[in-house]
Structure 1
């Protein structure tokens, strides 16, 4: 599954799943463009990429800004000498009862989780076509994009939207040799799940850690997911073994949601 010498851009790569993906694709032989908002965390991940012998560059961008996402792609191509894989990983969670959702809540999550993916798809596809080459676009969805979860209503809605964008883009860009797929993680032991658990505890009155423990208890494989579990699957989507796959949002969650 070698992607040796290719260039991959990962948004939200300064921590968590994004960092795991960046390091895995670097180990697979790719040079990595790290895109995030936190400059210190980006620099740290870049050092880790270089430590495995690959090139790395960083670019600070807010994925809700179309111009900044396009600029990030331009930067990756210029600094690393090519462009082959786009991983639209950046995302945020939103935890509240449906009855309490505000217009500001909707606007915030949609701008990152939906618009951020859309701009990434656009920018990557435009660059692949300009370079007259095939390419891979890989989007972060979630098990919440297959099953709406209580207290995660608008987060779930945003991830259902990522599935729709993935399918539509796959159909539109197939003739250009561009594949578009998604990955749907479950309960990953990252800072995002720490925040989800804390907010759920505030709402339900449960002790901190109880909601997380309940979700993990429902996983067939008996443990929480790691960023490396997700990155292993993204490695497959980025590599040549997935060349005949497009428009798909597979679940990789250890056995929690079944479709």
Structure 2
């Protein structure tokens, strides 16, 4: 008898997170869907879609920037689904603004969700996986902007560079427990957040700047989900500490 595997995906109400959740459910995982309270209706829609396809899903509303909420979320997943085998720390926010116009409050908000939120998900997922004693897979969401800086995205870039450091250090610490830690680094993705962001960036720069390079280079959320599906697979057991680019060649490592 095959033991059911469980995956927790943060920021799962739309975009990349939703695509990852749907893919992992299709691959046989029981999926815990996380987002903030304002996204509850969208989370419920994703849950219903997964359940209608014959797979198991639950909703876990929590703010990943709050340590007590992340700790409780992991416990709730284990209580309801039996274990935590895969953590996908996908939740993130972005802001386009010239650096000299940003505030410490802007920076704190982005760091709270993108960097601290990822750190908390890594920490409490690893603690649970170590306790279970059967290894696991942890995946974070970096970005092409976490490898190559873009103008007017200074704060976002800093937070995504931070995720690379967290991923590498965590991979070294958790490897002895059979836990791999990796991240994906997408280029321009066709999501609602990115569409809004591109409008903001275009308003801030000359027509001949970096934004023109992104035209026609969009990748689909399903492609990122496919990469995640591979990274959590048995075949990817020797891949750890990596931040994998997926960007149609917009940026080469």
Does TM, normalized by the shorter one, top 0.5? yes
C-alpha separation between the residues in 2 aligned to 1:104 and 1:205?
A: 27
The one-character-per-residue Cα deviations of 1:145-184 (angstroms, maximum 9, x if unpaired) are 1101111111111000000000000011111111100000
Q: d(CA) in 1 for partners of 2:213 and 2:29?
A: 34
Structure 2 segments unaligned to the other structure (5+ residues): none
Instruction: Answer yes or no: is the 8 Å Cα contact 1:4–1:29 preserved in 2.
Output: no
Distance 2:8 2:201 in 1: 33
Name 2:236's counterpart in structure 1.
242
Residues 178-235 of structure 1: CA distance to partner in whole angstroms, max 9, x if unpaired?
11000001100101112212222332376xxx98972433xxxx54111101100000
User: What residue is the counterpart of 2:227 in the other structure?
Assistant: 233
What is the distance in 2 between the residues matched to 1:36 and 1:223? 28
* Count of paired positions: 250
CA RMSD of aligned residues (A): 1.8
Deviation sequence 1:92-121 (CA, Å, 0-9, x none): 112111221210111000000000000000
SS in 1 for 2:72: helix
The 2-side partners of 1:106 and 1:243 are apart by 35
Alignment of 1:6-155 (within 5 A): 6-37=5-36, 38-155=39-156
Is the alpha carbon distance of 1:75 and 1:142 closer, same or farther for their aligned partners in structure 2, counting shifts above 3 Å? same
Describe how 1:193-232 pairs up with structure 2 within 5 A.
Answer: 193-204=194-205, 214-217=212-215, 222-232=216-226
In the alignment, the residues of structure 1 paired with residue 153 and residue 136 of structure 2 have an alpha-carbon distance, to the nearest angstrom, of 33
Could you list the runs of 4 or more consecutive aligned residues of structure 1 that deviate by over 3 angstroms after TM superposition? 210-213
> Does the CA-based 8 Å contact 1:14-1:45 persist in structure 2?
yes
Tell me the distance in 1 between the aligned counterparts of 2:183 and 2:118: 11
